[in-house]
Structures are given as C-alpha cells and as structure tokens.
C-alpha cells in the first residue's frame, strides 16, 4: 500500500499522509521522500481525523493511517460529522483488520469496524483480499471522491491472484464459478476461502469463489445472480457477521421473492473476541478455518 501511495504522492502534490505516531519503518521512506506531504499527528486519532478533514476541504487528498480500531472507532464522531457529512476527501487506512494483532488483545481486535463504518452515509468501504487487491484498492480510493475506508491486514498475507486483476469499486472479483456453492470472502481471510473451495471441490461439488473487496457499495447484482442460480451462498469474514459481509448479503437475499439460495454466514457471532493469541490460533478458536467452512457448508447442503 505504501509503495503505491508513494507513486501517487510523487505524481500528485495534493496527496497527504497523516499517521497517529506509528508506522515507523513502514512509513520512513515516504516521510523522507515527501516531507511536505507527511504529518505525524501524535497519539491523537480524533485530532488526526479533524486535521485531515481540514486539509481535504482545502483541496488535499488525505490518507490517515493507524492500527485497527484506532483510526476508526476511536474517532467515529469525527469520521461521521466532519469527514462523511462534508463528503471530504479523507481516506481512512486501518492496518491490522480482524485478528491481525491478536496477541495484543481485544483493544486491537478490529472485528466490528466494517459494520460500523458501513452504516455511515457517504462512505466507501473496501477490504482487499491479498497484496494484489491492496495495491489496486489504494489507487481506487485515491480515485474515488469523498470519504473512503481501506481495511488492510498487516502485510505478509498470502497472494491469491497470480496476475493482474480487474479491480472496480463495488464489483466483486470472480476467481472461480460453481453450480452448487458460492463462497464470498472479504478482507485478508481470502486464502482460507480459497483453501476451503479446494477441499469442497475435491468432494465433488461445484464451488465458486468471489472476493467481495467492496462492502459499500456492495456488488448487489452478483449476490442476486448467485441467489437465483446456486444452492448455497457462504460468506466468510474475520469480523462479526452482524452488519458485516454476512449481514450485507442477508439484507439483499432476504428481500428477494421466490426460490433462492440458502445462506450460511461464517464470522464472529454476537461476542467479543476476548481470547488472546496469534491470528491463526484465533481463527481456529472462532471457527474461521478452511475446515470449518467445509464442515458448515456440507452440513447446510444435506440439511
């Protein structure tokens, strides 16, 4: 993401990056190359957001950067009242979505952010699935007018796309088609969805896989198409299903009349992720592994 942002900053002096006193090492090269386009606002995320809005209203395109819940939930009022309400060109970047910082405990588990920000008017919400999508998403939020939320992992996520992709805001990426099951994934858990699809295919099922990188606006046409043509839609997210990808898909499917696919939503239920451990461990605790996806999809198909 930062390398792409460097290219954007070089081409456009209106690009600004504001951090809340973190990202050292990651952001060092940017700050050295573009000292007039970089600000460290300190451990003051509300101030960081207000500052970003002020610059955006003066013509800047401002990226704010912090960990998990800090650039989102901590300054929700500023995002709502200052950025979204004024349609300001503020691009909120969260590094550490889901359980990425799992060992630091619940304060660092970003598991409600997508739902909460998705509920705000006039915001675009994007959670790319791998490094290829992340690079494309960074360019996309730069090109998208108004307030955007870009939810990332921590880097090092498995690359799923072998080549270039057709990344469009509001349009999911079709990795595989299938006549029986469609797995819809958002964010850095795409590799789990990919592995689950491989296992389900080995059992004789036709399984599609779709990276729903944009939760708002969501790819409504795709969801309606799948609901009309396949047996089961499975949503997978490292996030609560309430208001997240599962909730967003359910909102669309529930309004369809006539025959439609069943829906299995895999993610956190109505609970805090109070267990501490690394990302893989927490995925196993909360039922977000490939085997969990296979088990739950299989159970729904035979029920």
Known catalytic residues are 45
- Residue 211's DSSP bridge partners are 173, 185
Question: 99 and 239 in contact (C-beta within 8 Å)?
Answer: no
CA–CA gap between residue 258 and residue 255 (Å, rounded): 10
Residue 221 gets the label, from left (phi > 0), alpha (psi -120 to 50) or beta, of alpha
CA–CA gap between residue 188 and residue 193 (Å, rounded): 10
Question: 122 and 87 in contact (C-beta within 8 Å)?
Answer: yes
Query: How far are the Cα atoms of 189, 235, 237 from residue 301, in angstroms, in the given order?
Result: 23, 15, 20
- Sheet of 147-152: strand order equals 38-40, 15-19, 61-67, 90-95, 147-152, 123-126, 214-216
Cis peptide before 217 (omega within 30 of 0): yes
Report the relative pairing of strands 147-152 and 232-240 from DSSP bridges: unpaired
CA–CA gap between residue 279 and residue 194 (Å, rounded): 17
**Residue whose token pair is 């910082």:** 101
The DSSP output letter for 168 is B
Question: 149 and 213 in contact (C-beta within 8 Å)?
Answer: no
Give alpha helix (H) positions in 234-289: 245-254, 279-285
User: Among 19, 238, 234, which Cα is nearest to 115's?
Assistant: 238
């Amino acid at each position: 993401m930062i390398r792409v942002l460097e290219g954007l900053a070089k081409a456009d002096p209106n690009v600004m990056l504001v951090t809340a006193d973190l990202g050292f090492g990651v952001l060092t090269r940017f700050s050295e190359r573009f000292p007039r386009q970089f600000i460290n606002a300190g451990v003051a995320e509300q101030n960081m957001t207000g500052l970003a809005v002020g610059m955006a209203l003066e013509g800047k395109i401002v990226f704010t950067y912090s960990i998990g819940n800090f650039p989102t939930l901590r300054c929700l009022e500023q995002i709502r009242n200052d950025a979204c309400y004024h349609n300001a060109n503020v691009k909120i970047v969260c590094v550490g979505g889901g359980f990425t910082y799992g060992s630091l405990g619940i304060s660092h588990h970003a598991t409600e952010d997508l739902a909460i920000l998705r509920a705000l008017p006039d915001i675009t919400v994007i959670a790319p699935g791998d490094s290829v999508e992340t690079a494309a998403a960074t360019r996309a939020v730069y090109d998208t007018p108004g307030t955007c939320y870009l939810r990332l992992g921590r880097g090092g996520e498995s690359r799923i796309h072998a080549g270039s992709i057709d990344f469009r805001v509001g349009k999911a990426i079709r990795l595989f088609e299938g006549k029986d099951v469609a797995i819809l994934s958002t964010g850095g858990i795409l590799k789990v969805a990919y592995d689950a699809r491989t296992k389900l295919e080995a059992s004789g099922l036709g399984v599609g896989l779709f990276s729903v990188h944009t939760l708002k606006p969501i790819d409504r046409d795709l969801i309606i198409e799948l609901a009309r043509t396949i047996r089961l839609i499975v949503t997978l997210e490292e996030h609560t299903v309430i208001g997240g990808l599962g909730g967003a898909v359910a909102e669309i499917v529930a309004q369809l009349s006539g025959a439609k696919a069943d829906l299995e939503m895999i993610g956190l239920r109505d609970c805090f992720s109070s267990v501490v451990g690394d990302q893989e461990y927490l995925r196993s605790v909360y039922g977000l592994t490939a085997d969990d996806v296979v088990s739950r999809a299989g159970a729904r198909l035979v029920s």
